[in-house]
Each structure stands twice: as C-alpha cells, then as structure tokens.
Amino acid sequence: MPIHILAKGWSEGISAIPYGWSLLKYAPWLALLYALKWYFNGAVSPSERNMHSKVVMMTGGTSGIGAEVAKGLASRGAQIILLTQHPLTDPFLVDFIEDLREQTGNELITAERVNLASLHSIRQFATKWIDNAPPRRLDMVVLCANTRTPPGGKATMTVDGLEATWGVNYIANFHLLSILSPALRAQPPDRDVRIIIGTCSSHMGGHIPDNISNPSTSKKTKKNGKEAAAVPFTPGGVYATSKLALMTFGHAFQKHLSTYSRPDKKPMNARVLFVDPGWSRTPGMRRFLTFGSLWGLFVYLITWPIWWLVLKSADQGAQTFLYAVMEEQYQRGEGGWLLKECRKVGLMRPEIEDEGVQKRLWELSEQTVEKLEKEGAKRRAAEKAAEKAAEQTAEQATENKGDGKKTGKQGASANGAAKQRKGK
C-alpha cells in the first residue's frame, strides 16, 4: 500500500494524498526526534556469548540497570546469585525471582541476603562463601549496587556509622572483594574471571579522602600557606568521591590479583573492568532529579517527555555491562579498563593509577573496616547481653508471679480450714 500511495503522490501531487502536506510539514521534526533519541540511547553491545555454566554474583540486581543486566545474563544461561538486602522470604524478592525465571527460562537464579550497609552482614556472607573445599566456582562478580543522597538532602548513616553513600558505594565493595579475593584467585587457569565495577563520570569531580570514615569533611585546601576549613557534606561531592575511590581501589585490586603467584605457576586469569553506563531512567536517577520530594516528582512527571528523550532506558544502560561481560578481547591483558558506550576509554584522573595513592587508600580502608568491625562486635555483644538480661528479668518476674499466686492459694486454703474448725 505505501508504494501505491507514493506513486499517486508522484503522479498527481502531494495534495492527492490525504494529509499529505501535513505529513510533509512534520516529517523533518519527526526525523529529528528519531535522530536525537537514537543518539541519546547510546551504543548497543555488539558482543554475544553463551553464558551457560557461568556463575555470576551480583549486587544491585533487583532494580534499575542491575535488574536488566541480571535479565540479560539469565537469558543467556548464566547462574545468577543476587546479593540483596531483602529477606529471602520477602514477597517482592520471591516474585521478582519467579518472574525472572519465567521470562528467561532459567531456573538457576537464587538470592543471598547481604546488607551492604552492614560490614558484619558482608563478612558473614563472604566468609561463608570462601569457607569451602574445593573452592566454589565463581566466574564473575558484577557490582551494580549504588546509592546517592538527593541534592540538598542530609547525610544518612549506615549501621556502622558511615555516611550511606560512602559506605555502600565504596566501603561495602572494598570489604566484599577483599574477603572474596581467595575465591577469585583459586579459580582454574582456563576460566575467564571478571570483576565488573559500575562507576560514573562524576568521579572526575571527586577527591581521595584523608579520613576514610568521614570523607565529606576530609578534603582540605591550602590558602596562603595555611590549611583552609574542611569542605562540608554535599551529596554530589561524596558521591563523586566514592566513585573515584572505588576506581582507585579497583586498580589496586587488579594488581593484587595479578601479582599473586599461583601454585600451578599459570598466569592470573582475573580481570577488573569499570563500566560507566551513562545516565538512565532508573529509580536512583528519578530520586536524584526529583530531589527526593513530592513536588520534585510532580515536576518530573510533567517534564517526563524531556527525560524520555535525553535519558537511556534501564535496558539501554545495561548494554555496556553486557559488553564487559561478553566481549572476548577482555579475557587477556592487564585489566583495569574503563568502558563507556561499549568501547574502551581513557582515564581522566591520574591518581587512579598512582601506586602510592592506591596503597594509602587500601591501608586506610583496611584500618577503618577493622576498627568499625571491632566496634560493631562490641555493640552486638552488649545488645545480646542486654536482651539476655531482659529475658532473665521477665522469667524471674513470671516465677515470682507464680509463687505469689501459689502463696495466695495456700493462705486461702488455711483460712478455709480454720473457719471449718471454728464451725465444728
């Protein structure tokens, strides 16, 4: 039919086609809209790979880009282990896994409860994972979990007293990978092991903090030879710092893996890759754009066509992650590459590759984690002792109440017996 319409327009003129001039008038604008949307959607992964038998551990795999990455991996046959803060019996998590299994035809999708805002929770899971002989199979670790305080928001704290953005985006990943290191190094030499870390271009505005436990107040600038006041907390500043620190640690972790001497004398087969997925329409981005407020959400809904145009969908944001997972060329080399729009790009901050900065950051991070875990252990012991004391008090009160009732009954029986004797 389109051929007949075009032929009629060619022979009899545009006016012979219904709404022909209107279509001709709006066609350039529609073409421009299509071109802009195609541009903002970004690249599509050109790589394809059979993921059957691959074991992939994921954080942030239940929402946003992480959920699309999990779906893409599961549809290619990978065994997915989702690390989530939800209880394993949570209806949302149960329905999410069942839906994912049904959509992908893959039953090898499970979850483990790991609260990234708790160092104790991370250690419990990771030590249980590596405490296995022979070592469990682990082909990939995909770190998609991410959090950010909305602009103008106040700092929130983790269980261990860390600022939430810093604690979840950096310290949690540092702690998890540090403990899982033996499991990654123990994989057979013919296995392609990848550690894929999600990052953001905002890392270019971050700084390596002096105070790992409170990075928002650790940056100091020199003025006239004197140190100026510490920079106050800003959501964007802490977020950028967390991403810069994570990339710096990732490079240090790659060196940590590469310098390991395997018992079989084979070369190390683990590679660290960083992925910048670009700006996408995810729950986190929506919270950022709305400033975490209802009024912001109202404005977001009104301006949604703009965000639809300039932001990727979660599926499009997942393309570079899938590229990092499946691209063959990343099986070899030194690792530590930054990928964006399904291609390798250069690093913009030189301190990421500075060995001195890496060593200092690692040491400070280890000291902070050790200190916080000791404090957490003392706190849990005190809470447990308090609960035990409360239980003992409640039991004693119950026993005393029972003894009182028994004494009362005995007294009543004695009074009754006395009355009976008196009556006789």
Per residue in 307-343, pLDDT (tens digit) is 999 999 999 999 999 999 999 999 888 889 999 999 9
- Out of 25, 154, 222, 243, which one is annotated catalytic? 243
Indicate the pLDDT class of residue 228, thresholds 50, 70 and 90: very low
Residue 221: its pLDDT value, please?
Answer: 47
Name the pTM for this structure: 0.85
User: Does residue 395 carry a pLDDT above 90?
Assistant: no
Residue 282: its pLDDT value, please?
Answer: 92
Per DSSP bridges, beta strands 140-143 and 226-227 are unpaired
Neighbours of 18 (CB within 10 A): 8
Q: Clarify whether 243 is annotated catalytic.
A: yes
Residue 223: its pLDDT value, please?
Answer: 45
Where is pLDDT greater, at 10 or 354? 354
For residue 271 the two structure tokens come to 């590679």
Q: Which amino acid is at 69?
A: V
- pLDDT, average across residues 196-207: 92
Indicate the pLDDT class of residue 396, thresholds 50, 70 and 90: confident
Indicate the pLDDT class of residue 345, thresholds 50, 70 and 90: very high
Indicate the pLDDT class of residue 96, thresholds 50, 70 and 90: very high
Percent of the chain surpassing pLDDT 90: 63
Backbone torsion region of residue 336, taken as left when φ is above 0, otherwise alpha when ψ lies between -120 and 50, otherwise beta: left
Listed in order, strand segments (DSSP E) in 135-269 are 140-143, 193-198, 222-223, 226-227
Residue 250: its pLDDT value, please?
Answer: 95
CA distance 122 to 115: 7
Residue 19: its pLDDT value, please?
Answer: 62
As a residue count, the chain comes to 424
CA 126, 127, 128, 131 torsion-angle sign: positive
Do 105 and 146 contact (CB within 8 A), yes or no?
Answer: no
Least confident of 22-31, 32-41, 46-55: 22-31
CA distance 125 to 175: 11
Percent of the chain surpassing pLDDT 70: 84
Q: Which of 334, 324, 8, 335 is nearest to 196 (CA)?
A: 324
User: Does residue 73 carry a pLDDT above 80?
Assistant: yes
Residue 225: its pLDDT value, please?
Answer: 47
User: Does residue 17 carry a pLDDT above 70?
Assistant: no
CA distance 323 to 342: 6
Domains detected in the chain: 2-41 (no CATH), 55-222+236-277+314-369 (3.40.50.720)
- Burial readout 86-107 (b: 16 or more C-beta within 10 A, e: otherwise): beeeeeebeebbeebeeebebe
Return the ∠ at Cα 247 (arms to 245 and 251), rounded to 5°: 115
Where is pLDDT greater, at 395 or 259? 259
- pLDDT, average across residues 121-138: 93
pLDDT in tens, 135-184: 899 999 999 999 999 988 888 899 999 999 999 999 999 999 999 999 99
